[in-house]
């Protein structure tokens, strides 16, 4: 009985006990939910009211400047217009279009904001005579100069590589906003962030499928998912999404939410760049501002929200067309299009720009150079988040020619010399001789490769590219002229430890006595080594420094033949001084930087310093022209007019591991390197490898001839180089050679005497014998 009395109360209090536990759990849940809501509310407010997006810096090529007399192939103009996103049409009716009629172009130029000002939308007429611009007019009026908008060549992105053009709702065609709401969330202006009907519908679909197949998300929920959360399909994430959508709708106006959505949504991929927002999508797919979109274009982009990759119009045109027409049907059903409009736009083509035409090509090697030069003035966070606009010197026409030349020539070389496929690599730097602006940069055989940049970072032995500095040091000393006889006999230099340095010529032959300029033109190692040791290593090293070589070179005899290593970019800086007649200008890639709104932040001018006297520079340029006309660079005469008077120098390192050529015209300098990443020898010299790439590149470009002007300190004389005698212009073997005044030969010889002397043997032979 006592046991029964004790058990009775427990049965009476059990429901009350469970009720208490339940109340406590509910209270704890309510507290937890309240805490979660407070936390989520803070998250929503912090990002939505702060800086919503990290906007990458956008990097632009140079604007194409058109003027009478400009050397330009009409096909290159057409290609650049297509690449910038202009449409080729029979008749130009609006901006963003161009028409070509033979050698005449009509261009509907868009408004252009540049670092140094703006160019208004206008109709530009360009007439060609062959490969030269003959006339330029704007809106029917002849002008001296017309500028086109520059090509967007890349961006400096965050880790997610997101890119967008921010827009305001007032810029968006009302039809686009109405269509988006009609297709994605018809109750957008009436619900409180979530749609109970949508959630119920999705829940039934998921139960029937036995899996998560439908989300039932509103535009607000989609924004929360993209803006705050990840793409996981879990109950916790979905719950968080719902709560944050409610909070977002509580705090902010519907139009503000819609504007944010229009800028956030993912709409495609371009290489590593993620296309976000309708503003950038309008440019990326149609090459026009969002305000200019037509109804069928609006339908396509809105339809892509459902699956940008699946409905990619460039990869899956038929699928994208069906999706677009479905959206057009919704627009018609919702009264956004009339019957006539629906029928008209339904039969329109997709009309997207070609993938290769609009902003789909990046230049990773050049972008690395831009980033390195920008870091001298800007923090990394500024470059990846402030939406800066970087205007550079890259010339897409020159870059395209260089890329094609590099790829095609390396393919051909591997076939001809039976080198393993893709074994060869290459790098190239092209710059303007006067300004030092970099016009093209190749860091790899594959120019789209984001990785090791051989143009900037591949330090390779320069070989015979060092020789112009040796000869320039001799000429600067005023102890030598271009016709000073040099001995190419074997040379031996003893080292401190008893070692001996005995360089040999490439052909293993000795070439006797020959004029200084000819020793350099034919790249003789023995003559160069003897000359450098006679002049002195101190003077040679100083000349390298004056030319722009920044590293401290060891004063070893082997540097005379280029045993030290430089990158192609460093070689270009050295040769730029030679090409600019002794004026050193650091190579630069940036012209100006502005804010996203166009306010000028930085202007990058030219830093010019004369480091080599103009008379000595004139003489070494003459010797380098002889490299092309008489020496190791003669292949260029097979490809290009002799009237260009090109100058250059071939280079081959020990065991033929590196093939170099550096050369320049009156307006362009280019340095080319060809080699192997594994540093194995090649059956190539500078003349058979890098020189061919250089020639293939430059042969397709309009170059100015190299016509350096002699200064007052230069005297031009007709001489017989071997005998160092003045003679008449019409004498056999006579050459017009420049001298620094006071260093000219003093002995005069007539044509008859010269012929008699030649018949009886040279002056050297008459004294020393054979």
- Checking if the pLDDT of 229 tops 50, the result is yes
pLDDT at 764: 37
pLDDT at 761: 44
pTM: 0.85
| Residue 397: CB atoms within 10 Å | 23
Most confident by average pLDDT, 39-43, 201-205, 723-727, 757-761: 723-727
Structure tokens at 148: 């086109």
- SS3 for 580? coil
- Checking if the pLDDT of 459 tops 50, the result is yes
Residue 602 contacts residue 577 (beta carbons within 8 Å): no
The Cα 115–Cα 127 span in angstroms is 28
Q: Which long-range contacts (CB under 8 A, 24 or more apart) does 719-723 make?
A: 719/483, 719/745, 720/749, 720/754, 721/483, 721/515, 721/517, 721/518, 722/483, 722/485, 722/513, 722/514, 722/515, 722/762, 722/763, 722/764, 723/749, 723/754, 723/757, 723/762, 723/763
Q: Which long-range contacts (CB under 8 A, 24 or more apart) does 353-356 make?
A: 353/85, 353/87, 353/285, 353/286, 353/287, 354/82, 354/314, 355/314, 356/83
Q: Is 527 exposed, middle or buried (0-12, 13-18, 19+ CB in 10 A)?
A: buried
Residue with the larger pLDDT of the pair 159 and 280: 280
* DSSP letter assigned to residue 62: P
pLDDT at 753: 67
- Checking if the pLDDT of 289 tops 90, the result is no
State the sign of the Cα–Cα–Cα–Cα dihedral 676, 634, 662, 590: negative
Residue 430 contacts residue 398 (beta carbons within 8 Å): yes
The Cα 440–Cα 65 span in angstroms is 17
pLDDT at 196: 76
In terms of residues, how long is the chain? 770
Q: Which domains does the chain carry?
A: 62-150 (3.30.2060.10), 157-346 (1.10.3810.10), 363-442+453-462+564-610+628-709 (3.40.710.10), 466-556 (3.40.710.10), 714-768 (no CATH)
User: At 35, is the pLDDT very low, low, confident or very high (cuts 50, 70, 90)?
Assistant: low
Residue 359 contacts residue 284 (beta carbons within 8 Å): yes
pLDDT at 492: 94
- Checking if the pLDDT of 640 tops 90, the result is yes
Query: Which residues carry out catalysis?
Result: 184, 464
Residue with the larger pLDDT of the pair 231 and 265: 265
User: At 735, is the pLDDT very low, low, confident or very high (cuts 50, 70, 90)?
Assistant: very high
pLDDT tens per residue, range 623-635: 999 999 999 999 9
Structure tokens at 754: 């010269």
Mean of the per-residue pLDDT values of the chain: 88
- Checking if the pLDDT of 577 tops 50, the result is yes
H or E, element range at 566: strand 565-566
- Checking if the pLDDT of 663 tops 90, the result is yes
pLDDT at 520: 97
User: At 767, is the pLDDT very low, low, confident or very high (cuts 50, 70, 90)?
Assistant: very low
pLDDT at 2: 44
Residue with the larger pLDDT of the pair 672 and 56: 672
Which alpha helices (DSSP H) does 50-173 contain, by range?
A: 74-84
pLDDT tens per residue, range 689-722: 999 999 999 999 999 999 999 999 999 999 999 8
The region of weakest confidence among 3-17, 283-297, 667-681, 734-748 is: 3-17
pLDDT at 7: 47
pLDDT at 61: 97
pLDDT tens per residue, range 512-532: 999 999 999 999 999 999 999
What are the two backbone dihedrals, phi and then psi, of residue 43, each rounded to the nearest 5 degrees? -65, -45
pLDDT tens per residue, range 347-397: 999 988 775 444 457 899 999 999 999 998 898 888 888 889 999 999 999
User: At 249, is the pLDDT very low, low, confident or very high (cuts 50, 70, 90)?
Assistant: confident
The Cα 636–Cα 375 span in angstroms is 39
The Cα 392–Cα 62 span in angstroms is 6
pLDDT tens per residue, range 529-572: 999 999 999 999 999 999 999 999 999 999 999 999 999 999 99
Pick the closest to residue 713 from 615, 621, 617 (CA basis): 615
Q: Which long-range contacts (CB under 8 A, 24 or more apart) does 168-171 make?
A: 168/259, 169/255, 169/258, 169/259, 169/262, 171/279, 171/289, 171/290, 171/291
The region of weakest confidence among 156-160, 321-325, 727-731 is: 156-160
pLDDT at 666: 97
Taking residues 660-667, report their average pLDDT: 98
User: At 216, is the pLDDT very low, low, confident or very high (cuts 50, 70, 90)?
Assistant: low
Radius of gyration from C-alpha coordinates of the chain? 36
- Checking if the pLDDT of 118 tops 50, the result is yes
User: At 234, is the pLDDT very low, low, confident or very high (cuts 50, 70, 90)?
Assistant: low
pLDDT at 766: 38
Percent of the chain with pLDDT over 90: 67
Residue with the larger pLDDT of the pair 331 and 200: 331
Most confident by average pLDDT, 360-374, 463-477, 490-504: 463-477
pLDDT at 215: 52
Cα 388-392-396 angle, rounded to 5 deg: 125
- SS3 for 193? coil
pLDDT at 769: 43
pLDDT tens per residue, range 445-457: 999 888 899 999 9
User: At 39, is the pLDDT very low, low, confident or very high (cuts 50, 70, 90)?
Assistant: low
| Residue 116: CB atoms within 10 Å | 12
Pick the closest to residue 397 from 66, 80, 70, 67 (CA basis): 80
Between the alpha carbon of residue 47 and those of residues 125, 164, 194, 380, 596, the distances in Å are 48, 17, 20, 21, 20
Between the alpha carbon of residue 492 and those of residues 468, 525, 534, 728, the distances in Å are 21, 12, 13, 40
Between the alpha carbon of residue 192 and those of residues 237, 247, 259, 263, 265, the distances in Å are 19, 9, 17, 21, 20
The region of weakest confidence among 227-241, 451-465, 481-495 is: 227-241
The Cα 425–Cα 672 span in angstroms is 11
Structure tokens at 507: 């052909």
């Amino acid at each position: 009985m006592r046991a029964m009395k004790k058990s009775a109360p427990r049965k009476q209090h059990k429901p009350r006990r469970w009720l208490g536990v339940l109340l406590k759990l509910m209270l704890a849940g309510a507290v937890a939910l309240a805490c979660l809501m407070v936390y989520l509310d803070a998250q929503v407010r912090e990002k939505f009211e702060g800086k919503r997006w990290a906007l990458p810096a956008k990097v632009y090529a140079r604007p194409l400047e058109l003027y009478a007399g400009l050397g330009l192939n009409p096909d290159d103009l057409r290609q650049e217009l297509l690449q910038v996103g202009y449409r080729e049409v029979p008749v130009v009716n609006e901006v963003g279009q161009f028409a070509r009629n033979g050698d005449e172009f009509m261009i509907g130029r868009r408004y252009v904001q540049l670092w140094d000002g703006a160019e208004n939308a206008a109709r530009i007429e360009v007439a060609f005579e062959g490969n030269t611009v003959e006339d330029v007019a704007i809106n029917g009026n002849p002008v001296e100069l017309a500028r086109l908008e520059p090509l967007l060549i890349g961006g400096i992105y965050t880790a997610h590589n997101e890119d967008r053009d921010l827009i305001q709702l007032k810029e968006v065609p009302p039809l686009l906003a109405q269509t988006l709401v009609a297709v994605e969330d018809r109750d957008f202006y009436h619900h409180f962030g979530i749609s109970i009907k949508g959630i119920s519908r999705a829940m039934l679909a998921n139960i029937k499928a036995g899996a998560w197949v439908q989300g039932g998300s509103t535009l607000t929920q989609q924004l929360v998912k993209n803006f705050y959360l990840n793409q996981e399909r879990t109950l916790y994430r979905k719950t968080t999404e719902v709560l944050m959508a409610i909070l977002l709708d509580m705090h902010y106006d519907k139009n503000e939410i819609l504007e944010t959505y229009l800028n956030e949504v993912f709409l495609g991929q371009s290489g590593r760049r993620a296309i976000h927002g309708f503003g950038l999508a309008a440019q990326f797919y149609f090459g026009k501002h969002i305000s200019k979109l037509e109804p069928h274009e609006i339908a396509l982009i809105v339809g892509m929200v459902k699956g940008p990759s699946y409905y990619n119009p460039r990869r899956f045109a038929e699928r994208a067309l069906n999706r677009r027409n479905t959206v057009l049907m919704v627009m018609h059903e919702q009264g956004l299009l009339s019957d006539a409009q629906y029928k008209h736009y339904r039969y329109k083509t997709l009309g997207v720009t070609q993938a290769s035409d609009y902003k789909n090509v990046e230049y990773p090697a050049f972008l690395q150079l831009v980033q390195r030069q920008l870091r001298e003035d800007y923090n990394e966070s500024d470059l990846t988040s402030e939406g800066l606009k970087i205007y550079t010197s890259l010339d897409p026409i020159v870059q395209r020619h260089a890329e094609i030349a590099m790829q095609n020539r390396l393919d051909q070389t591997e076939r001809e010399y039976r080198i393993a496929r893709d074994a060869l690599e290459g790098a190239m730097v092209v710059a303007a001789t006067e300004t030092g602006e970099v016009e093209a940069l190749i860091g790899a055989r594959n120019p789209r490769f984001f990785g090791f940049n051989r143009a900037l970072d591949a330090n390779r032995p320069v070989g015979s590219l060092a020789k112009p500095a040796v000869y320039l040091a001799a000429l600067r000393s005023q102890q030598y002229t271009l016709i000073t006889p040099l001995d190419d006999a074997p040379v031996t230099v003893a080292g401190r430890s008893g070692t001996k340095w005995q360089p040999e010529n490439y052909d293993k032959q000795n070439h006797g006595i020959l004029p200084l300029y000819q020793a350099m033109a034919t790249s003789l190692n023995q003559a160069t080594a003897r000359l450098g040791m006679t002049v002195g290593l101190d003077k040679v090293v100083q000349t390298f420094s004056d030319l722009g070589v920044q590293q401290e070179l060891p004063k070893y005899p082997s540097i005379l033949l280029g045993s030290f290593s430089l990158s192609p970019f460093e070689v270009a800086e050295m040769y730029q001084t030679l090409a600019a007649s002794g004026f050193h200008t650091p190579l630069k890639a940036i012209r100006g930087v502005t804010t996203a709104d166009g306010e000028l932040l930085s202007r990058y001018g030219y830093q010019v310093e004369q480091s080599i006297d103009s008379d000595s520079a004139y003489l070494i340029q003459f010797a380098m022209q002889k490299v092309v006309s008489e020496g190791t660079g003669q292949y260029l005469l097979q490809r290009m007019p002799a009237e260009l008077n090109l100058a250059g120098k071939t280079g081959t390192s020990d065991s033929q591991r590196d093939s170099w050529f550096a050369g320049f015209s009156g307006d362009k300098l280019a340095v080319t390197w060809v080699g192997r990443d594994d540093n194995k020898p090649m059956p190539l010299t500078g003349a058979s490898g890098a020189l061919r790439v250089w020639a293939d590149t430059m042969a397709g470009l309009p170059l100015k001839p190299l016509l350096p002007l002699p200064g007052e300190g230069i005297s031009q004389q007709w001489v017989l180089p071997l005998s160092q005698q003045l003679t008449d212009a019409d004498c056999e073997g006579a050459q017009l050679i420049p001298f620094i005044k006071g260093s000219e030969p003093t002995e005069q010889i007539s044509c008859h005497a010269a012929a008699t002397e030649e018949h009886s043997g040279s002056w050297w032979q008459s004294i020393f014998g054979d």
